Amino acid sequence: MDLTIYLEEAAQVSFAFIIGAVIGLEREFRSKPAGFRTMILISVGACLYTILSKENAGYGSADRIASNIVTGIGFIGAGVIFKEGISVNGLTTAALIWITAALGMAIGYHNYPLAIVVSCMVVIALFVLEPVQRFINRFHRVKDYKIRTVNLGGNFRNELEDFFKSHDLTFRCMKFIKDDNDAVYLYRISSPDRNYDLVNQFLLQHQDVKSFDV
């Protein structure tokens, strides 16, 4: 029995554990669905399957198991994506699940330099580029509002659109839904000066508005 092989494989799995833990810390910090333990399991699992696929290469195609890893990870990633109104959430987490599995596979194939470089790029994208994204978001000129009114809102829609016109806001009603006795409006609003506080104050003070979110 050659213990060197087993020690080498243990080192691979341990390295995959560390990579998954680093990525998972960021998701856990932000209270995302796929957090610390999930990312570790994905990275270690992908690495283990890759090692097994190499060991069983004599019994079939070595890349068959690896290709099935990608398919399986797709199902996990799809489970963290959900749509709420106009917005879609979970895309970043799904992408991280995908890249974490790829890093595990790279470690399983002994491609440590590539795994380290890509891991550094992922960490930079998650931590360093976040202030850049926040800075860019400050210049967004379009926002989506989901507004729920009581008793179908009465004359609320006319009053709201008159308010938009009086403040030179570009708007479009994306969807109108009746939910029991409530009315739900989905509006896309564009403000030239990016001052949406006026809209928020109008909605907060309007007696027909039951709730709204942006």
Angle between helices 3-29 and 91-108 (to 10 degrees): 170
Instruction: Write the CB contacts of 74 (distance below 8 Å, at least 6 apart in sequence).
Output: 98
Instruction: Give the Å distances, CA to CA, from 24 to 14, 163, 182, 202.
Output: 15, 45, 41, 41
* Total domain count, the chain: 2
**Local structure of 181: helix, strand or coil:** coil
CA within 13 Å, CB half, 129: 7
pLDDT band per the 50, 70, 90 thresholds, residue 91:
confident
pLDDT digits (tens, 9 = 90+) for 148-167: 888 776 688 888 989 988 88
Whether residue 59 is predicted with pLDDT greater than 60 in this model: the reply is: no
State the residue range of the domain holding 131.
3-135
Examine the domain organization and report whether 123 and 169 are in the same domain: no
The pTM of this model reads: 0.69
How much of the chain, in percent, has pLDDT values that exceed 90?
Answer: 23
**Local structure of 208: helix, strand or coil:** coil
Examine the domain organization and report whether 156 and 206 are in the same domain: yes
Task: Tell me which of 82, 105, 135 is where a domain ends.
Answer: 135
pLDDT band per the 50, 70, 90 thresholds, residue 70:
confident
Task: Tell me which of 99, 119, 135 is where a domain ends.
Answer: 135
